C-alpha cells in the first residue's frame, strides 16, 4: 500500500488586517492580493523541500482563486509547486470558517498548518488542531504571537520539518497560554498572548483602544517591541516567550505613575500603572472588578458580573509552533539545502559534511 503524499495546510484569514483599528488607529491594510502572494511564496518553498500536496480553504475574497490560477501557470510548473487542493467549506464569513478549515486539515492528517493572520486567527486554528505544529505568519493587527517574517524563509523551515529532516526537539516550540474558566457557566476559553479586564459591560466593538477601558492585563509573554495590549507589560516588566512565567499589570486612569504604550499601530496612550508583577504558572487569578468584560488576545469576548467572575491561569500547554530561526540554523549547520547540479530545484541531505564534534 502506497504512502499518502506529504501534505500540509495553509489557512489565510481573509478578514485579518482589515478590522476597526484601521479607523480607530493607523493600522495598515493587508489585502487579499498580499495574502495570495504570501501563499504562493509558501508553495514555492514547500515544493522545494518535498511537500507534495497543500490544502487551502476557499474564501469570498479571491485568495484561493488567485492561488489556484497561479498554480496552473508556467512559474508554478517550473518551480514544481505541490499539488493544490481547495477545501470547499461552508462559508459564514466569521471565525467559524477558520475553525472549520482547521478541523478538516486535522482530519486529513496534515504535517503542519501555516497560518496567515493575527493573534486571534492563530488562537482559532490552535484550538482545533491539537499538537499539529503551526507555521505562524503575521498578517493581522495584533501580531504578538506570529512573528513578522518573510514567507519564503518560513516556508523552507516548515517544509524541512514536515519532510522529516529537522528533529522535533530542534524545530518545535511549545507555547504558553492563559486559561479562562468560570465554573457556574462551564466556561473554558484560552488566549495565546493576553487577557485584558475592562470595566466596559458589553462586548460591543470588541477591540480595546482607550487606556480608561483597561483595568488589568495578564500576559504569557511581553516583549518591549510589541504592539498591542501586551506592550504594557513589555515596556514595564518584560518576559520572554521561553520563560516559564508570565506577567500581570493593574491599571487605573488616576494612578500616580503612567506608561506611554502603543495599544495599536499608531495609537499611543498614557496608561496609569497601579501595580505589576510576575504571573506564576498554575495560579488562578480573579479580576479585581465585580463586573465587566474580558478581552482575549485583543478582542472582548466574555461578559461577566458579580457571582460569575472567571479566573485566569497561566499554563505551558499551548500549541506547538515551528521555530523558524532554530530550524534554519540547523539546516545551515547540516547543509540541508545543498543542491545537486543536475537537480537545481531539489535540496539534498548532506549532513555528512558536518564538522567532527559539531553540536546537533
- The model's confidence at residue 22, banded by pLDDT at 50, 70 and 90, is very low
Using CA atoms, how far apart are residues 216 and 256, in angstroms rounded to an integer?
16
Q: Give the gyration radius of the chain's Cα atoms.
A: 21
Give DSSP secondary structure letters for 231-249. HHHHTTS-B-SSSS-EEEE
Give 176-315's CATH code, choosing from 2.40.30.10, 3.40.630.30, 2.60.200.30, 2.20.25.10.
Answer: 2.60.200.30
Using CA atoms, how far apart are residues 121 and 294, in angstroms rounded to an integer?
18
User: Does residue 19 register a pLDDT over 80?
Assistant: no
- The model's confidence at residue 146, banded by pLDDT at 50, 70 and 90, is very high
C-alpha cell at 317: 500547554
Residue 39 makes CB contacts below 8 A (sequence gap 6+) with 10, 12, 56, 63, 67, 116, 151
Q: Which residue has the cell 487551502?
A: 56
Pair 240, 219: CB distance under 8 Å: no
Assign 120 to helix, strand or coil.
Answer: helix
Residue 95 β-bridge partners:
none
Using CA atoms, how far apart are residues 306 and 182, in angstroms rounded to an integer?
12
Give 5-165+322-347's CATH code, choosing from 3.30.70, 3.40.50, 3.30.450, 1.20.1300.
Answer: 3.40.50
Using CA atoms, how far apart are residues 125 and 165, in angstroms rounded to an integer?
25
> How do residues 294-334 score in pLDDT, each as one tens digit?
999 989 999 999 888 899 999 999 999 999 999 999 999 99
> How do residues 71-111 score in pLDDT, each as one tens digit?
999 998 888 999 999 999 999 999 999 999 999 999 999 99
Mean pLDDT of 47-56: 97
Q: Tell me, what's the pLDDT at 360?
A: 47
State the DSSP H helix or E strand holding residue 54, giving kind and residue range, or none if neither. strand 53-57
Percent of the chain with pLDDT over 90: 79
Domain boundaries for CATH 3.40.50 within the chain? 5-165+322-347
Give DSSP secondary structure letters for 174-186. EPPEEEEEETTTT
User: In angstroms, what CA-CA distances link 235 with 74, 220, 228?
Assistant: 49, 14, 11
Question: Any idea what DSSP says for residue 285?
Answer: B
Domain boundaries for CATH 2.60.200.30 within the chain? 176-315
Mean pLDDT of 169-175: 98
Q: Tell me, what's the pLDDT at 1?
A: 62
Number of H-type helices and E-type strands within the chain: 10, 17
User: Does residue 236 register a pLDDT over 80?
Assistant: yes
Amino acid at each position: 500500500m502506497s504512502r499518502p503524499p506529504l501534505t500540509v495546510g495553509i489557512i489565510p484569514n481573509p478578514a485579518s488586517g482589515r478590522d476597526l483599528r484601521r479607523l480607530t488607529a493607523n493600522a495598515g491594510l493587508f489585502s487579499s492580493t498580499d495574502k495570495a502572494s504570501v501563499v504562493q511564496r509558501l508553495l514555492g518553498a514547500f515544493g522545494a523541500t518535498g511537500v507534495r500536496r497543500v490544502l487551502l480553504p476557499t474564501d469570498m475574497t479571491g485568495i484561493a482563486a488567485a492561488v489556484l490560477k497561479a498554480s496552473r501557470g508556467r512559474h508554478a510548473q517550473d518551480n514544481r509547486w505541490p499539488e493544490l487542493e481547495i477545501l470547499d467549506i461552508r462559508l459564514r464569513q466569521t471565525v467559524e470558517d477558520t475553525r472549520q478549515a482547521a478541523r478538516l486539515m486535522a482530519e486529513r492528517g496534515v504535517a503542519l498548518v501555516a497560518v496567515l493572520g493575527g493573534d486571534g486567527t492563530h488562537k482559532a486554528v490552535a484550538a482545533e488542531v491539537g499538537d499539529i505544529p503551526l507555521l505562524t505568519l503575521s498578517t493581522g493587527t495584533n501580531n504578538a504571537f506570529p512573528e513578522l517574517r518573510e514567507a519564503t524563509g518560513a516556508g523552507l523551515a516548515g517544509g524541512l520539518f514536515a519532510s522529516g529532516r529537522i528533529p522535533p526537539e530542534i524545530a518545535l516550540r511549545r507555547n504558553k497560554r492563559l486559561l479562562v474558566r468560570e465554573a457556574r457557566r462551564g466556561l473554558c476559553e484560552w488566549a495565546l498572548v493576553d487577557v485584558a479586564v475592562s470595566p466596559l459591560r458589553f462586548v460591543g466593538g470588541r477591540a480595546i483602544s482607550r487606556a480608561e477601558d483597561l483595568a488589568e492585563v495578564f500576559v504569557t509573554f511581553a516583549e518591549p517591541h510589541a504592539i498591542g495590549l501586551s506592550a504594557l507589560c513589555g515596556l514595564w516588566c518584560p518576559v520572554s516567550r521561553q520563560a516559564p512565567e508570565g506577567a500581570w499589570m493593574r491599571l487605573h486612569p488616576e494612578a500616580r505613575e503612567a506608561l506611554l504604550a502603543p495599544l495599536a499601530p499608531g495609537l499611543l496612550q498614557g496608561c496609569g500603572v497601579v501595580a505589576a508583577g510576575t504571573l506564576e504558572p498554575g495560579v488562578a487569578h480573579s479580576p479585581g472588578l465585580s463586573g465587566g468584560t474580558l478581552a482575549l488576545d485583543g478582542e472582548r469576548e466574555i461578559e461577566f458580573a458579580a457571582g460569575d467572575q472567571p479566573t485566569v491561569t497561566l499554563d505551558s500547554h499551548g500549541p506547538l509552533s515551528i521555530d523558524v530561526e532554530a530550524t534554519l540554523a540547523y539546516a545551515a549547520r547540516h547543509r540541508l539545502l545543498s543542491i545537486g547540479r543536475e537537480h537545481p530545484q531539489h535540496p539534498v541531505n548532506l549532513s555528512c559534511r558536518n564538522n567532527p564534534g559539531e553540536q546537533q
